[in-house]
Structure 1
Amino acid sequence: MFYYFDPIYLIFAIPAFLISIFAQIKVQAAFSKYSKMKSFSGMTGAEVAKSILWANGIYDVKVEYVPGLLTDHYDPRFKVLRLSSGVFDSNSIAAIGVAAHEAGHAIQHYERYPWLSLRSAMVPVVNIGSNLAFPLILIGLLFRNGDIFINLGILLFSLAVLFTLITLPVEVNASKRAIQALKLAGVVMPSEEEGVKKVLKAAAMTYVAAVAVAILQLLYYLSLVQRRRDD
């Protein structure tokens, strides 16, 4: 059964696809809506990020432009906060929310936030494991005595699932830090705060979706193993 398309795969793939699409639609809709609303402060995303960093005593983190849509991220390896074209030089409510969120990650790094430290430590293993997991499972399924490969593949992919779970508290905490920092700095008016929160909540949905997709994929792998044992 492993040499042709497995119809059971659709049971897991279709929900995963729908969850991912829903999350992407939500974040793009929220970002698009609040990108058209200029903030009262007039500060750009880059200015907001620098202001938050400096207010927290962080002076060694660079704020740089990165091409693409919603490609914003903080790189702890090089202490660089990268903001996309729709955020770096924009003074919209969406832009300052995203910029503040990424600054929140830099603050986590500076303060050695444990969940961020754990996630960073897992990155090398997860990058290798997520690529090797399915080939190992497939090899194990093709050979009669391949249980060791199957178990190793499932273990490696389980680490990838754990990584997505650990990412959730990191992202939620960064958003909380962002809201607090914006309020303390007086960057957002009370009427603008709701928009910032909606953008950040929509962005958080993508991480929830990633967890759901990873779990569904793991369940599919487990179903392959169970069907092999039943044969």
Structure 2
Amino acid sequence: MMEDPLFWVFVLPGLLLGVYAQSRIKINLAKYTQVPTLNGITGAEVARKLLDAQGLKDVTVESTPGVLSDHYDPRTKTLRLSQQVYYAPNVAAAGIAAHETGHALQDAEDYFPMEARTYIVPVVQLAAQAAPWVFIAGMLLQMPTLAWVGIILFASSSLFALLTLPVEFNASARAKELLVQHGIIQGEEQLDGVEKVLGAAAWTYVAAAVSALGVWLFYVFIMFFRGRSASSIR
């Protein structure tokens, strides 16, 4: 399918947004890793302070290898920060640590979009593997119903990407509010830095959603137009 020029018509917007997002992340991280936090508080200390202030002392904060590998694991109640965030006393690290803390708060409050996304992860993983084969089998065997099953399976990835948007935007909003509320971020430069770092990261999720929708629309287009053309020829 990737050899089909039409595939890139649907997918290219998401890819371009992804490239833009990555460039903004690099630029803003390079800039705001140079802006220190007050009293030299590190990313790990930011996360621990905010978690404790919200009564989430059962959530563990750990260092994890990798670049931008920061994440919160709701299964083990563990907040994992990359070493560049865990040990770093700068505004970018504080923003990322607070963002992941926002996910821990969502988990504690049973925030619906996060709960829904967590529950469908196994389904999405299975569907993503099966969808192309089911769709191709349906087309080759001239079984439209089977092909539509493949398209529905593709839709699960789009649903996951769309559910990710409110989860990530909400976590960033919580992060900024908590950082200001607890006096970790002060002044216009520091607040602007947090907003730019988290805003750039948010574009990666938008790009993923656009790409997922593009792939899904590509297969729908094939089914509606090319599949229909093949049927009319017969």
Class of the TM-score when normalised by the shorter of the 2 chains: over 0.9
Q: Aligned with 1:119: secondary structure?
A: helix
Instruction: Tell me how far apart the structure 2 counterparts of residues 220 and 182 of structure 1 sit (CA, whole Å).
Output: 42
1:58-73 pair list within 5 angstroms: 58-73=56-71
TM-superposed CA distance for 1:170, in Å, is: 0.7
Q: Is the 8 A contact 2:106 2:171 kept in 1?
A: yes
Instruction: Tell me how far apart the structure 2 counterparts of residues 42 and 207 of structure 1 sit (CA, whole Å).
Output: 30
Structure 1 stretches of at least 4 aligned residues deviating more than 4 Å after TM superposition = none
TM-superposed CA distance for 1:157, in Å, is: 1.3
Alignment pair present for 1:160 and 2:157: yes
Letter in 2 for 1:13: V
Q: Aligned with 1:41: secondary structure?
A: helix
Greater shift, 126-135 or 43-52, is seen at 126-135
TM-superposed CA distance for 1:223, in Å, is: 1.7
TM-superposed CA distance for 1:215, in Å, is: 0.8
Query: TM-score normalized by structure 1?
Result: 0.94
2:118 aligned partner: 120
Instruction: Tell me how far apart the structure 2 counterparts of residues 157 and 210 of structure 1 sit (CA, whole Å).
Output: 14
Alignment pair present for 1:217 and 2:212: no
TM-superposed CA distance for 1:38, in Å, is: 1.2
1:107 aligned partner: 105
Instruction: Tell me how far apart the structure 2 counterparts of residues 159 and 211 of structure 1 sit (CA, whole Å).
Output: 11
Letter in 1 for 2:173: K
2:52 aligned partner: 54
Q: Aligned with 2:10: secondary structure?
A: helix
Instruction: Tell me how far apart the structure 1 counterparts of residues 219 and 159 of structure 2 sit (CA, whole Å).
Output: 16
* Structure 1 unaligned residues grouped into runs of 5+: none
TM-superposed CA distance for 1:41, in Å, is: 3.2
1:141 aligned partner: 139
Instruction: Tell me how far apart the structure 2 counterparts of residues 115 and 11 of structure 1 sit (CA, whole Å).
Output: 30
TM-superposed CA distance for 1:21, in Å, is: 1.1
1:169 aligned partner: 166
Instruction: Tell me how far apart the structure 2 counterparts of residues 179 and 15 of structure 1 sit (CA, whole Å).
Output: 29
TM-superposed CA distance for 1:13, in Å, is: 3.4
Q: Is the 8 A contact 1:161 1:211 kept in 2?
A: yes
Instruction: Tell me how far apart the structure 2 counterparts of residues 230 and 195 of structure 1 sit (CA, whole Å).
Output: 53
Instruction: Tell me how far apart the structure 2 counterparts of residues 212 and 181 of structure 1 sit (CA, whole Å).
Output: 30
Instruction: Tell me how far apart the structure 2 counterparts of residues 18 and 11 of structure 1 sit (CA, whole Å).
Output: 11
1:29 aligned partner: 27
Letter in 2 for 1:135: W
Letter in 1 for 2:141: F
Instruction: Tell me how far apart the structure 1 counterparts of residues 204 and 150 of structure 2 sit (CA, whole Å).
Output: 25
Instruction: Tell me how far apart the structure 1 counterparts of residues 147 and 35 of structure 2 sit (CA, whole Å).
Output: 52
1:17 aligned partner: 15
Alpha-carbon RMSD: 1.4
TM-superposed CA distance for 1:151, in Å, is: 1.2
Q: Aligned with 2:132: secondary structure?
A: helix
TM-superposed CA distance for 1:35, in Å, is: 1.1
Instruction: Tell me how far apart the structure 2 counterparts of residues 6 and 197 of structure 1 sit (CA, whole Å).
Output: 39
TM-superposed CA distance for 1:181, in Å, is: 0.9
Match of 1:44 among 37, 42, 45: 42
Q: Is the 8 A contact 2:63 2:83 kept in 1?
A: yes
TM-superposed CA distance for 1:71, in Å, is: 0.8
TM-superposed CA distance for 1:88, in Å, is: 0.5
Letter in 1 for 2:68: L
Instruction: Tell me how far apart the structure 2 counterparts of residues 168 and 142 of structure 1 sit (CA, whole Å).
Output: 36
Q: Is the 8 A contact 2:14 2:209 kept in 1?
A: no
Greater shift, 220-229 or 98-107, is seen at 220-229
Letter in 2 for 1:168: L
1:228 aligned partner: 227
Q: Is the 8 A contact 1:20 1:206 kept in 2?
A: yes
